[in-house]
Amino acid sequence: MSADRPPTTVQTVAAPPSRRTAGRDRYLDLLRAVALVRVVAYHAFTGAGWLSIVFPAMGVMFALAGSLMARSLQRPAPSVVRGRARRLLLPLWVYVTAILAGLLWAGWRPATAPGGWWGVVLWFVPVGDPAAPASVGPADGAVEPSWAFQSAEILWYVRTYFWLVLLSPLLLRVFRRWPWPTLLAPLVPAVVLGVGVVALPEPIDSPVTDVVTFAACWMLGFAHNDGVLQRVPLRRVLVGGTVLMLAGIGWAGSAADEYGWDLNLNPLAQALWSLGACLMLLRVSPSWSSLPRLLRPFDPAVTLINNRAVTIYLWHNVLLALTVPLVDVLWAVPALELSIPWLLDSSWLQLALVWAMLGLVILAVGWVEDLAARRPARLWPTGRRTSHRSTSHRSTSHRSAPGRATIAP
């Protein structure tokens, strides 16, 4: 991300030499792509809470974002925060405009919602929960009435990311003075809130809980970028990560009657499990300049997902709601109903449909992410078109390599 203005008298945060080389780290890109695929699958497969255990996608996304934020803060903090906010908010505003237009067309009126017009402002400035109806439209309509709630529910990640971006200049300064105490500090309020010692007021409950749940993963990204994590012996990291994950799964088991095994419903279990897993994933980070030969066929997909991470995350949940009427249309075809009823009744079909619809959304509005990053707009940025140029000019500029764009989440 380029700075908004040249350095002035604003002080930057003193940083130790980073272990990261110039350009993209394809290992981190692969982790982000897997995380986003897992997020979409989690929402496509009803009751698949076990996916939150198989791969802690949200923790990984926050850890990677924290690493990129620490790298960016080698420049003046105000310009970095503005740039990160711009990269997040412009795609968000496109999404919000479309969603609010749909809600108004369906008959919802902000004046009747909790928070009134202030709740509408929170759609555009993600510091709290936006106003949204639990359902909108007729129960027997073409689209499930719950699409309104689903379109707003997904914004918890955007809100948490935005708060951590705003807090990062301070967090990074404190982290670089007391690394490990600062990194582990968010677990204290996570435990306090998780065991119910303190109950927060409704307006701040979700924002505070989400921040303390993932703040440690965010600062683990600081440790990765600064090389702090790599200086810890691998054996200690594996032991520490295992202990954290066992504590998380143990706490999840103690509350399984209430939440099941879905860590997304259990913030303390999520915080412990995600931190332990991310600790090991980032410690063994091989820092690939390109994907290994076995994974190279997935290179265009990994590049595309990274370049359109915000678009994919924002739109996938509401698009899943729109797959329901599409499946109903397929059920109305007698040949399909008789020959492949198992497929029509499967969540795999919805998963395939939502990725096809995401492709259309990427083509329609994904280029806004390029404008937010102040780079030329591209419709389908897989890196293939510029690959020959990046090879020939690699000795003069690392910025010409495919997929160099820094992704906000």
Q: What would the mean pLDDT of 199-204 be, rounded to a whole number? A: 90
As a residue count, the chain comes to 409
pLDDT at 261: 94
pLDDT at 20: 53
pLDDT at 55: 97
Q: What would the mean pLDDT of 238-267 be, rounded to a whole number? A: 95
Q: Choose from 169-173, 196-200, 400-404 the range with maximum mean pLDDT.
A: 169-173
What does the block give as tokens for 28? 């981190």
Q: What would the mean pLDDT of 332-356 be, rounded to a whole number? A: 95
On whether the CB atoms of residues 176 and 81 are closer than 8 A, the answer is no
pLDDT at 391: 39
Distance CA 82, CA 88 (A): 10
Measured CA to CA in angstroms, residue 373 lies from 2, 68, 119, 184, 356 at distances of 8, 14, 28, 32, 25
Q: Which residue has the higher pLDDT, 90 or 17?
A: 90
With H, G, I as helix, E, B as strand and everything else as coil, classify residue 138.
coil
On whether the CB atoms of residues 164 and 62 are closer than 8 A, the answer is yes
pLDDT at 142: 75
Question: DSSP string of 296-307?
Answer: GGGHHHHHHHHH
Strands (E) across 301-390 are located at: none
pLDDT at 393: 38
> Among residues 286, 279, 305, which one has the least CA distance to residue 407?
305
Q: Which residue has the higher pLDDT, 385 or 340?
A: 340
Looking at the predicted structure, is the pLDDT value of residue 386 above 60?
A: no
pLDDT at 276: 98
The angle that helices 57-72 and 267-283 make with each other, rounded to 10 degrees, is 60
Distance CA 34, CA 110 (A): 37
pLDDT at 312: 98
Rounded to the nearest 5°, which phi and psi values hold at 90? Answer: -60, -50
Read off the pLDDT band of 144 (50, 70, 90): confident
* Longest CA pairwise span in the chain (Å): 72
> Among residues 223, 220, 274, which one has the least CA distance to residue 247?
274
Q: What would the mean pLDDT of 28-37 be, rounded to a whole number? A: 98
Looking at the predicted structure, is the pLDDT value of residue 336 above 50?
A: yes
Read off the pLDDT band of 139 (50, 70, 90): confident
Read off the pLDDT band of 111 (50, 70, 90): confident
Q: What is the pLDDT of residues 211-250, one digit of tens each?
A: 999 999 999 999 999 999 999 999 999 999 999 999 999 9
Residue type present at position 172: L
What does the block give as tokens for 404? 């160099």
Q: What is the pLDDT of residues 50-100, one digit of tens each?
A: 999 999 999 999 999 999 999 999 999 999 999 999 999 999 999 999 999
pLDDT at 372: 98
Q: What would the mean pLDDT of 301-329 be, rounded to a whole number? A: 96
pLDDT at 388: 41
Distance CA 106, CA 227 (A): 52
CA-based end-to-end distance of the chain: 13
- On average, the pLDDT of the chain sits at 89
On whether the CB atoms of residues 108 and 136 are closer than 8 A, the answer is yes
Read off the pLDDT band of 400 (50, 70, 90): very low
Residue type present at position 376: P
Q: Choose from 88-97, 100-109, 322-331 the range with maximum mean pLDDT.
A: 88-97
pLDDT at 15: 54
Read off the pTM. 0.89
pLDDT at 381: 97
> Among residues 359, 406, 63, 86, which one has the least CA distance to residue 217?
63
Percent of the chain with pLDDT over 90: 76
Cβ count within 10 A of residue 249: 17
